DNA sequence: GCAAAAGTGTTTGGATTACACCCATGC
DNA sequence: GCATGGGTGTAATCCAAACACTTTTGC
């Protein structure tokens, strides 16, 4: 059965990469969407993506897309699912692989350029109808983000460098669609090495919360020396 | 930046699918490998895989490969990672997606045909050097299997239909490279709906163990009616 | 009886839960 | 003072680990 069709005839596929950019703000997780400035699906909202260049490795293509859109460099990218329905792209057989990046919304200044007419941060639970099979891609990728939030300390890539414990709690509440008890949440995160800054929230009309930052070095040591496993 | 190169020039990639077939026997998890009967890497051990046909969806291609090799049909297939280093295939840009299937070793009778000179079940922790980047693919896929074994009742796809609790325990011990306490293991699986058959092991030189089978209907009801979550 | 593995019960300590209470700030 | 969230303590409960013990089979 195999290889009945001449091997070379198979070099007629295209391969793209869709880069889901997640951000977090005021209790909601957002995805960065673009309004497409080109066919197909011109004028519709979509995940930023591009074809993979002939000599480009997949993570490099994901970095490139992220950097072009947000000017952010050097971020860790996570591979998601691959989508390849024969008819998913109107112009031919294009298989696409989702990648996702976690960014601090306030640190980046995404601008629409040749990519897009317009860009927009949309709460992941309030998505409009998207181009291609991008609703499916985004849902599956968010699901995977949820899995990773449980076992890797990547919430700190979404939170501001200095954050309050309540901001952290709300991130998990949104991701898992669950209400958490404040006291219990704080007991649970006790083993995570956080540096308590001697700084407080400002401009709040209630008792200001303490600011923390993630202790990357302490975390690495914990993992290496005491076999610590992050779990939420 | 985007689309500087003419779109059509991009339709020069090929896309393949590698289908990792996992089986379980006597305390070890195995993968089914083929000895390649064609170039490239002729004569070397590899994961069975094939190019995806132009009008074929990815899960269909995975099913096709599985069926051609093992004659087993209708199994659930799980998507794994995608591998796309530009130089991973000597004959051009071939991006590949791993899929994995779980089978009962004794139920299938895999035969080498046009695919392969020879086929072999190899314990996943004792792999030889493989063709392409297949060592990397297999390790990543086994890692993913481990993740799924923790949160989905898929161990029953690997175990014989009638199995002993010790066989089940040993599967988890191999997957997680850990020794488990018998009494505690049995307490842990208490909530999983198993049907205790009125049958015992035969041909053992010690007290024969009771045989069980997974209660699919009971499991589905538990999930739907009581929001049960499988967890190991 | 003995070896080998099946199968079950008890104890203990640590984690999770629910809930109550006090604290600091703006107005 | 009061509203609003920040921040902490306690008791009850559940769960997991450690370990001991009994049972059933072949030889």
**Residue B39 touches partner A, C-beta closer than 8 Å:** no
Whether A2 sits inside 8 A of B68 (CB atoms) is yes
pLDDT at B7 over 60: no
**pLDDT at residue B26, as a whole number:** 93
Residue among B26, B71, B21, B64 nearest B46 (CA): B21
Q: Is A1 helix (H, G, I), strand (E, B) or coil?
A: coil
Q: Which of B57, B84, B92 is facing A85, going by the closest CB pair?
A: B57
**pLDDT at residue B13, as a whole number:** 82
Q: Residues of CATH 1.10.10.10 domain(s) within chain B? A: 154-223
Q: Which of A11, A54, A91 is facing B14, going by the closest CB pair?
A: A11
**pLDDT at residue B125, as a whole number:** 97
Q: Which residue of B has its CA nearest to A93?
A: B54
Q: What CATH topology corresponds to A2-137?
A: Nucleoside Triphosphate Pyrophosphohydrolase (3.90.79)
Q: Which of A11, A58, A95 is facing B92, going by the closest CB pair?
A: A11
Q: What is the mean pLDDT of residues B9-31?
A: 90
Tens digit of pLDDT for each residue in A128-180? 999 999 999 999 999 999 999 999 999 999 999 999 999 999 999 999 999 99
Among B26, B117, B118, B139, the active-site one is B118
Q: Among residues 59-78 of chain B, which lie with CB inside 8 Å of chain A?
A: 68
Task: Give B79's contacts (C-beta < 8 A, 6+ positions apart).
Answer: A81, A82, B58, B59, B97, B98, B99
Among A26, A118, A143, A199, the active-site one is A118
Q: Which nucleotide shows the minimum CA-to-C1' distance to residue B211? A: C6
Provide DSSP, A90-144.
TTS-EEEEEEEEE--GGG------TTEEEEEEEETTS----STTHHHHHHHHHHH
Tens digit of pLDDT for each residue in B53-97? 989 999 999 999 999 888 889 899 999 999 999 999 998 889 999
A166: distance to nearest CA of chain B, Å?
A: 28
Q: Is A118 a catalytic residue?
A: yes
Tens digit of pLDDT for each residue in B183-205? 999 999 999 999 999 999 999 99
**pLDDT at residue B4, as a whole number:** 38
Chain D bases closer than 7 A to any CB of the protein:
3-10, 16-20, 23-27
Long-range contacts of B113-116 (CB under 8 A, 24+ apart): B113/B68, B114/A1, B114/A2, B114/A3, B114/B37, B115/A2, B115/B34, B115/B37, B115/B48, B115/B68, B115/B69, B116/B34, B116/B35, B116/B36, B116/B37, B116/B48
Q: How far from each other are the two terminal CA atoms of chain A, in whole angstroms?
A: 48
- Nearest residue to nucleotide D3, by CA–C1' distance, is A206
The segments of chain A whose pLDDT lies below 50 read 1-7
Q: What percent of chain A has pLDDT over 70?
A: 94
* pTM, entire model: 0.93
- We find that the CATH architecture of domain A154-223 is Orthogonal Bundle (1.10)
Which residues from chain B sit within 8 angstroms of residue A11, using beta carbons? Answer: 12-14, 92-93
Whether B54 sits inside 8 A of A86 (CB atoms) is yes
**Residue A12 touches partner B, C-beta closer than 8 Å:** yes
Q: Name the pLDDT band for B116 (thresholds 50, 70, 90).
A: confident
**What Å value separates CA B181 and C1' C7?**
13
Q: Which of A5, A58, A115 is facing B84, going by the closest CB pair?
A: A58
**What Å value separates CA B207 and C1' C5?**
6
**pLDDT at residue B5, as a whole number:** 40
Q: What is the mean pLDDT of residues B170-184?
A: 97
pLDDT at B161 over 80: yes
**Residue A114 touches partner B, C-beta closer than 8 Å:** yes
């Amino acid at each position: 059965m195999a290889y009945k069709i001449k091997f070379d005839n198979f070099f007629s596929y295209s391969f793209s990469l869709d880069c889901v950019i997640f951000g977090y703000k005021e209790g909601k997780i957002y995805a960065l969407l673009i309004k497409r400035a080109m066919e197909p699906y011109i004028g519709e909202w979509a995940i930023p993506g591009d074809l993979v260049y002939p000599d480009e490795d997949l993570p490099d293509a994901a970095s490139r897309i992220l950097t072009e859109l947000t000017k952010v460099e050097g971020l860790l990218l996570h591979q998601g699912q691959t989508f390849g329905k024969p008819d998913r792209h109107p112009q031919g057989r294009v298989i696409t692989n989702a990648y996702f990046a976690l960014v601090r919304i306030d640190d980046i200044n995404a601008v629409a350029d040749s990519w897009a007419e317009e860009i927009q941060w949309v709460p992941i639970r309030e998505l409009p109808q998207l181009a291609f099979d991008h609703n499916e891609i985004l849902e599956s990728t968010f699901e995977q983000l949820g899995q990773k939030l449980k076992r890797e300390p990547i919430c700190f890539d979404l939170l501001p460098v200095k954050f309050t414990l309540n901001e952290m709690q709300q991130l998990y509440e949104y991701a898992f669609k669950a209400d958490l008890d404040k006291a219990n949440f704080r007991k649970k995160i006790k083993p995570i090495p956080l540096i308590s800054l001697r700084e407080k929230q400002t401009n709040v009309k209630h008792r200001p919360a303490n600011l923390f930052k993630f202790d990357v070095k302490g975390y690495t040591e914990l993992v290496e020396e005491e076999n610590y496993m992050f779990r939420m």
